[in-house]
Amino acid sequence: LAGICVIALLTHILLAGQRHKRQLVDLASHDGLTGLPNRRRSVEAATAALQQAVAEHRPLTVGLIDLDYFKMINDRYGHAAGDAVLKDFARIGRELLRTSDFFGRWGGEEFIVVLPDMPLDVAMLSIERLRAAALTIKLPEGPEPMRVSFSAGLATIDSGTKTLDDIIAQADVALYEAKSNGRD
């Protein structure tokens, strides 16, 4: 009887340790607020997608998305409303993007999208659908109404693309161009 109790206890400890390890891995790779993969996990996934696209000579588009005037949303409506916007945007992205696409939180109000087998012109249509859906996110009533919008920069692999840093830098330039041209 004592042996059975010891085996049961050791089994319980082993299973609890494995469950705890899975929780730690999840915490280390996902954003706690949105549930999206975090930046670390996004870099891993984007690097793998880029390597596969280059090896197979297939298209790949990477986008950086930045919610417009997010600080103003937090200042005007409070951080709880800002958090709700981030959660809603994450939900919309998960719903609208293909299962083969990757959508992660890059940091703050920035997100990354990796679109395998998608040339730039088709990716722009996909991001436009996401942009239109973001406009439907509700904000609390306020003296001056606001809406949720975003700016995005897209880049696709080309003969000069060697690393994820190359394509991210190109997407970042396009993002800042979108912001300087009026946002949304």
Q: 184 with 68: CB under 8 angstroms? A: yes
Q: 119 with 53: CB under 8 angstroms? A: no
From the list 95, 109, 141, 177, the catalytic residue is 109
User: Is 109 designated active site?
Assistant: yes
CA-nearest of 91, 108, 97, 99 to 39 is 108
CA distance 98 to 81: 28
DSSP states along 27-47: HHHB-TTT-SB-HHHHHHHHH
Positions marked active-site: 109
